[in-house]
Amino acid sequence: MAIGVKALPITFVAHAVAIVAAIMVLVWCLGFRGGLAWEDTNKNLIFNGWQKSPRGWVPSGIFPIRGGSSTRSTGDSYKKATKWMTGFNDYVNNGDCAVVADELDSYLDEKVISRMEDFNILSWWKTNANRYPTLARIARDILAIPITTVASESAFNTSGRVLHPVLMLIGLIIIGGEAIMSYKGLNLRKEVKKVIHLVLHAIALILGIIGIYAAFKYHNESAIVNLYSLHSWLGIAVISLYGIQWLYGFVIFFYPGGSTGLRSESLPWHVLFGLFVYILAVANAAIGFLEKLTFLENSGLAKYGSEALLVNFTAVITILYGAFVIFSVASQGPAEDDYSYSAI
Ligand code: HEM
Ligand code: HEM
């Protein structure tokens, strides 16, 4: 099936492209997304300066956390907290609370307005703002929150899940691609290449499984539903097919190994199915980049900003790498590989 192009130069270009892709995804995750967090401790990036305390998420510095307890200290952070609370203390001491209570009581004593078609709640609060100044301000804040169809993923996903793209790209795509190219790029005996091929695929598979687990973990911790997107469905298909492909390859070509007839019958299917799974993985990674960037742009990321360009170019480089892996399969391996597809 080999076309008359030598595989070696193609694999060199592919290795170079792989290095660029790996650097780009790391720069993105480390430089723009706050690092490779397994435990999503950098959720404070999501909530802009909030920290986890025994009482839940609070603005940074409010509850100094000492040895996991909520004991307040007289340290810097408590002073900061006290400063932050000054406004609240003034408010309580000035007796404004009582005013609000009166305001609320008289609001609750109001006669309920009967339902009418053209009732405008905003203009009601505007008209009555003099009578209920505090409640009107609260109502304005609440009513101004737009009803949105943007998934909570978009609303809060400004950090988090940084591990997923890194593991999927460097693991499944790059190491998986190197496993495929090892048959054409290395001038070694067939048996040795077979072991390299299966070990690299095993590493790719394991990193892929951990990467997908990281995505589920992040979703569950952030109360975001699972498996709602095309990307996630294709992702499950990719990882399942990859696992099946690996197991079948291992059992038929390595241990215990099928009969000679079964091996030579299986090999073209192994190559065809292997290429299909790999192409699907590359396409799904591109969808993943697109999806993540869309979430980020929905939550305010500049469309032509440096991060948006970086993510788009990482996807382009990923596709380029995938293409070179496929070219290597279609091209001619080293001379002693003339018995390629002999399924030894
Ligand atoms: C072949 C590689 C990849 C596979 C097999 C894969 C698989 C998956 C799976 C199964 C989920 C669903 C998790 C859940 O429902 O809880 C998911 C989620 C996600 N992945 Fe990937 N992924 C891959 C590459 C990428 C890449 C490179 C990115 C780039 C940023 C990415 C971004 C995302 C995002 C944003 C989500 C959450 C939204 C959603 O569930 O669709 N993925 N991925
Ligand atoms: C998910 C895992 C796997 C994928 C995606 C995959 C994919 C591929 C592809 C695309 C090729 C063609 C390479 C080329 O001709 O340049 C190939 C060849 C081959 N693979 Fe796999 N493979 C996987 C796992 C395995 C395993 C576990 C074995 C067990 C030893 C194996 C044994 C072989 C053999 C013997 C060849 C033939 C090489 C030749 O004769 O030229 N593969 N594989």
Residues 135 and 204 in one domain: no
Residues 109 and 223 in one domain: no
Predicted pLDDT of residue 294: 94
Domain limits for position 128: 95-149
- Decide if 120 is inside a domain: yes
Residues 177 and 217 in one domain: yes
Nearest to 334 by CA among 188, 178, 180, 197: 188
Pair 198, 251: CB distance under 8 Å: no
Q: How do residues 96-152 score in pLDDT, each as one tens digit?
A: 556 666 788 888 888 887 777 777 788 888 888 888 888 888 887 777 665 554 455
Least confident of 97-101, 111-115, 155-159, 208-212: 155-159
- Decide if 154 is inside a domain: no
Predicted pLDDT of residue 132: 87
Ligand found nearest the CA of 277: 2
Residues 322 and 232 in one domain: yes
Task: Report, as an integer, the average pLDDT of 233-258.
Answer: 97
Band (pLDDT 50/70/90 cuts) for residue 182 is very high
Residues 18 and 88 in one domain: no
Considering only CA atoms, which residue is closest to atom 7 of ligand 2?
274
Predicted pLDDT of residue 172: 98
Residues 99 and 248 in one domain: no
Ligand found nearest the CA of 177: 2
- Decide if 310 is inside a domain: yes
Q: Report the separation in Å between the CA atom of 74 and the middle of ligand 2, taken as the mean of its atom positions.
A: 64
Return mean pLDDT, the chain.
Answer: 81
Predicted pLDDT of residue 336: 59
Residue with tokens 């399969």: 329
Considering only CA atoms, which residue is closest to atom 25 of ligand 2?
249
Residues 170 and 271 in one domain: yes
Q: Is the CB of 212 under 6 A from ligand 1?
A: yes
Residues 137 and 178 in one domain: no
- Report d(CA 117, CA 152) in Å as an integer: 32
- Report d(CA 310, CA 292) in Å as an integer: 12
Least confident of 199-208, 229-238, 326-335: 326-335
Q: Is the CB of 322 under 6 A from ligand 2?
A: no
Residues 179 and 313 in one domain: yes
- Confidence (pTM): 0.75
Encoded tokens for 330: 């279609």
Pair 167, 37: CB distance under 8 Å: no
Pair 49, 60: CB distance under 8 Å: yes
Residues 142 and 220 in one domain: no
Pair 328, 184: CB distance under 8 Å: yes
DSSP summary character for residue 53:
E
Ligand found nearest the CA of 252: 2
Q: Is the CB of 33 under 6 A from ligand 1?
A: no
How far from chain centre, in Å, is Cα 121? 40
* H helical segments located in the chain: 7-26, 43-46, 76-93, 96-109, 121-127, 133-143, 152-156, 163-166, 176-185, 190-221, 230-249, 260-298, 306-330
Predicted pLDDT of residue 69: 37
Q: Report the separation in Å between the CA atom of 262 and the middle of ligand 1, taken as the mean of its atom positions.
A: 36
- Decide if 190 is inside a domain: yes
Residues 58 and 30 in one domain: no
Predicted pLDDT of residue 83: 55
Considering only CA atoms, which residue is closest to atom 38 of ligand 2?
341
Q: How do residues 264-309 score in pLDDT, each as one tens digit?
A: 999 999 999 999 999 999 999 999 999 999 999 998 899 999 999 9
Residues 63 and 110 in one domain: no
Band (pLDDT 50/70/90 cuts) for residue 94 is low
Considering only CA atoms, which residue is closest to atom 40 of ligand 1?
232
Q: Is the CB of 327 under 6 A from ligand 2?
A: no
